[in-house]
Structure 1
Amino acid sequence: MHTATAIDSSTLASQDLSRYLFDAARAGDVEVIKSLLARGVRVDARDERGSTALILAAYYGKTDAVRTLLEAGASPNLGDSARGNTALMGALFKGEIESARRLLADPRTDVNARNAAGQTAAMFAALFGRADLVEALAARQADFALTDASGATAEALARMQGNAALADRLAALSRGRGG
């Protein structure tokens, strides 16, 4: 019985410390992140909104924290609870180019992962005019012909945003994959 209490206390301590992991990820405090992980905080713990520390670090453009969390085994493919957006989607949404590049450099990152609306990272790049990352997505075999829940492709989303040059590039990439 005493052992069960010790395990429960350890689990509680780890859960209590996880809130500091989220703060450290937002702030990009790599030393605090490493310390908390060493103390047993789960690298893929979720905050009250269902975000992981990696999602937060990417969203806030804390590239060193993104690198540290990935090296510690954080999953780049987990989505938040609200919309299912991954760390890469968050970085693209916010225009955090270096964080997005770091995520794309990780071979575990699924560039075709979908959120609750069926959108992919390529669709986020199209929606938010991140033309500078389209080639990096292409290099990682992003499927530009995929459609979201409304039937829109990345090309269609770029056209809806009035970004004809990006839409034309996405159309060419989509054709290049046979889409």
Structure 2
Amino acid sequence: MTDRTPADADAFADRLFDLVRAGESGAVLDQIDAGVPVDLADAQGSTLLTLAAYHGHAELVAGLAQRGADVDRISGRGQTPLAGAVFKQHDDVIRVLLAAGADPDAGSPSARGTAEMFGRTLPTE
């Protein structure tokens, strides 16, 4: 039996989300491979994939998608990882998500709608 508390679990998750924001692919993917849920979400409903996409980490996005992350999971703000990548103009992440099957019309605003707001089109795979 361990002496871990919910506070320990929260602190671990916070560190993991910080690693995602920093693009530490190896460290994050090692944790997923060790059993951390690939669709772990923060209090705002942003998953590891959502944060990786928003912060422009294409390699990490690809690794999470390969491990089964839901590429169309809608955050607490109603957006998908693809919409976040479009908003931040991370074309390499957009291509990775589209190749992984992300739906450009999911969420609100959708990735397609977000692109249109900024006078852009979605890049192709």
TM-score calculated relative to the size of structure 2: 0.85
State yes or no: 1:72 paired with 2:67: yes
Identity fraction in percent? 36
Using the TM superposition, give the Cα deviation of residue 12 of structure 1 relative to its aligned residue in structure 2, in angstroms.
7.6
2:100 aligned partner: 106
Unmatched 5+ residue regions in structure 1?
140-179
For 1:57, the aligned partner's letter is A
Counterpart Cα distance in 2 of 1:122 and 1:70: 20
Counterpart Cα distance in 1 of 2:7 and 2:31: 14
- More displaced stretch, 52-61 vs 40-49: 40-49
Using the TM superposition, give the Cα deviation of residue 42 of structure 1 relative to its aligned residue in structure 2, in angstroms.
1.1
Q: Cα deviations across residues 73-126 of structure 1 (Å, max 9, x unaligned)?
A: 110111111x2100000000111111111101112x2222122xxx32211111
Superposed, 1:44-55 pairs within 5 Å as 44-55=39-50
1:127 aligned partner: 117
Which structure's residues are more often helix, by fraction? Answer: 1
1:74–1:13: structure 2 CA closer, same or farther, 3 Å change rule? Answer: farther
Pick the aligned partner of 2:22 from 23, 27, 30.
27
1:112–1:120 CA contact under 8 A, matched in 2: yes
Unmatched 5+ residue regions in structure 2?
none
Higher RCO structure (Cα 8 Å, ≥6 apart) = 2
Using the TM superposition, give the Cα deviation of residue 49 of structure 1 relative to its aligned residue in structure 2, in angstroms.
1.6
1:10–1:44: structure 2 CA closer, same or farther, 3 Å change rule? Answer: farther
Bigger radius of gyration, 1 or 2? Answer: 1
- Runs in 1 of length 4+ with deviation above 3 angstroms? 8-16
Counterpart Cα distance in 2 of 1:123 and 1:105: 19
